Structure 1
Amino acid sequence: MSEKIYVIHENDDWTKPLLEALDELNVPYEDWFINEGNVDLTKEPPEGVFYNRMSASSHTRGHRFAPELTMAVLSWLEGHGRTVLNGTHALDLEINKARQYTALEQHGIKTPKTIVTVGKESLIQASEQMEKPFITKHNRAGKGLGVQLFHSVEALKEYVNGPDFEEPIDGVTLLQQYIQSPDSTITRCEFIDGKFLYAVRVDTSEGFELCPADACTIDDQFCTTTENTREKFKIMNDFDDPIIEKYETFLKAQGINFAGIEFIRDEQGELYTYDINTNTNYNADAESKVQMHGMKELAKALASRLDKVNTK
């Protein structure tokens, strides 16, 4: 019997382009939306290929415990020997930036200096140990949640004790070294089934919310407060850097099949890796200019995995 692909997620807007790409290939799939529900661990899961797209920012869409339920589902699938792409370990890193940084450093990939804090007083105390300026960010985030730039401890105190403080969903706030990019850009490297696809230069001059998904970009157009003639997302098809080999080795060791990894260079050219997105999205406008399509390549990779399962 022919099996199918199961796409596990909690965001229809982000997943729609992938399902359309699977339709184009005439590949059988099931849209497995996970928010609330149950999983009977005594039952046998279906056969097939299971691709996890659960996001760390699910709570911003009212899906507070979707990652926890997904972790149970993925563990159940892996326990029964199913083909799971971006499985439990990938999800664990997706929802925990502190563990991302530890894993990256273990592979010799440089990350910004980071202090993990729980509690407002601990956050303020930790800021006294950091060089200025510094940023805060949420440990379980996505979409730039909780990212704020501070030039002094006093400014941080005012924010933390004021009405605008964003409480992180897991209680963990990261205090991080601020890396100044001379041209106000970061680079996001996309990987399909562990192999480099392309790099995207992202203009950060208007802020830290850098989700490349088209659903996010539409909203961003209405948030622009300054004129900006640069492209927000620009694919660099000639990108070549030794970091790619390090990233591919890292992804293989960590059991991550699909990811977007972001880095920034400082004024001295030093490269710092600061985010791994295992629920990766692509920007259609940027892709159309170079005729490269991440979701189509992702769909092809899933179809190839399904063929292998069906020929066992």
Structure 2
Amino acid sequence: MSKIHVIHENPAWLPPLAAAFDRAGLPWAEMDLSRGSFDLSAPPPEGVYYNRMSASSHTRGHRYSAELTAAVLAWLTRYGRRVVNGPRALDLEISKARQYAALETAGLEVPRTVLVHDAPEALIAAARRHFAPGPLILKPNRGGKGLGVRLFPSVEALAAHLDTAPSDEAPVDGLWLLQDYVRAARPVITRAEFVGGRFVYAVEVDTTAGFELCPADVCAVGDAFCPAGEAPAAVPAPAAPRFTVLRDGIEAPLRARLEGFLAQAGVDVAGIEFIRDPAGRTLVYDVNTNTNYNEAAEQAAGLTGTPGSGPGALAAYLAAELRRGLPAAA
């Protein structure tokens, strides 16, 4: 029987999608790639494959899940299976540097970024050359959920941190990014959600508690961001809900440029995060191809359980893709 196969390595993210699939009466199954073996000489099961492998899989003990997924996607593609968020989407998911190249190719602006191989002396030299006196941001090239993203008020603060940082803080692919700190007029960013390459809705995210902006409840972690020199307790909690659906969406020209980027990049489903600086520039800094949706924000906007919700839109899109692959009735 042809069905929807959800590729993942974290079952905690499945319940909202499962509920939407079940409401729509869709046949589906999970394909957990935290580990596994596959006969590459045999054809894979029929159906539509939805890839939501995460760049943060290594933080859950699944160090090679992304690499396993790349091999499985090649197998699926070789046999002509429909893959939503295929190999090109995975390539962007696991590398912010490649995200930025693709975004700029599509005419979108990103913060000034310097790529550095994992070596403290190289990081400090690059920071002094490109970002002195500061502030600046340090982030891993392969991250996820905002983990490992740190703001430093100066290059000296970065150097002091690196002097005492534990070795296990090194990025999983050995690549760090140094980046301009973009100070917004208000402490918020915007996350625009797309399904089937088309805009669904946008969420305003309060950033006063830090950079870990994954909207799913299960993304809550204890590795809280705090600016260098401050204790975690000094970081203020957001006074309002952290995630709020923007009823007016985003402006049409930006929406069109983001949809154009997704088409060029071969990405079907994504959450794209951007920030606006005081001069009014829009800078895109993250593309989440394994996007999650915030249930509380959708409920407050009256979207829960409707086709206008993230899971609802995704279920409808995957259902249409599944129908396209089924043989015509006799």
TM-score normalised per structure 2: 0.90
Deviations 1:224-279 (A, max 9, x none): 95343222000002123221101101111111100000000111111100000000
Counterpart-to-counterpart distance in 2, 1:212 and 1:276: 14
Partner secondary structure for residue 128 of structure 1 = helix
**How do residues 64-213 of structure 1 correspond to structure 2 at under 5 angstroms?**
64-118=63-117, 119-131=119-131, 132-164=134-166, 166-213=169-216
How big is the shift at 1:68?
0.4
**Do the aligned partners of residues 224 and 252 (structure 1) sit closer, same or farther apart at CA in structure 2, a change above 3 Å counting?**
farther
Aligned counterpart for 2:238 among listed residues 212, 221, 228 = 228
Checking the alignment, whether the CA contact within 8 Å between 2:197 and 2:268 is kept in structure 1 is: yes
Amino acid at match of 2:177: L
Aligned counterpart for 2:277 among listed residues 266, 276, 293 = 266
Partner of 1:294: 310
Q: Give the unaligned 5+ runs of structure 1.
A: none
Partner secondary structure for residue 305 of structure 1 = helix
Amino acid at match of 1:194: G
Counterpart-to-counterpart distance in 2, 1:112 and 1:41: 41
Partner of 1:307: 323
How big is the shift at 1:164?
4.9
**Do the aligned partners of residues 224 and 294 (structure 1) sit closer, same or farther apart at CA in structure 2, a change above 3 Å counting?**
farther
How big is the shift at 1:4?
0.5
Q: Give the unaligned 5+ runs of structure 2.
A: 225-231, 304-308
Partner of 2:229: none
Partner of 2:248: 238
Checking the alignment, whether the CA contact within 8 Å between 2:209 and 2:237 is kept in structure 1 is: no
Partner of 1:58: 57
Checking the alignment, whether the CA contact within 8 Å between 1:130 and 1:177 is kept in structure 2 is: no
**Do the aligned partners of residues 227 and 57 (structure 1) sit closer, same or farther apart at CA in structure 2, a change above 3 Å counting?**
closer
Counterpart-to-counterpart distance in 2, 1:143 and 1:240: 23
How big is the shift at 1:80?
1.1
Cα RMSD (Å): 1.8
How big is the shift at 1:129?
2.1
Checking the alignment, whether the CA contact within 8 Å between 1:206 and 1:224 is kept in structure 2 is: no
Checking the alignment, whether the CA contact within 8 Å between 2:184 and 2:276 is kept in structure 1 is: yes
Corresponding residue pairs, total: 311
Counterpart-to-counterpart distance in 1, 2:19 and 2:277: 39
Amino acid at match of 1:305: E
How big is the shift at 1:41?
1.6
Amino acid at match of 1:73: V
Counterpart-to-counterpart distance in 1, 2:5 and 2:93: 19
Q: Greater CA deviation, 47-56 or 143-152?
A: 143-152
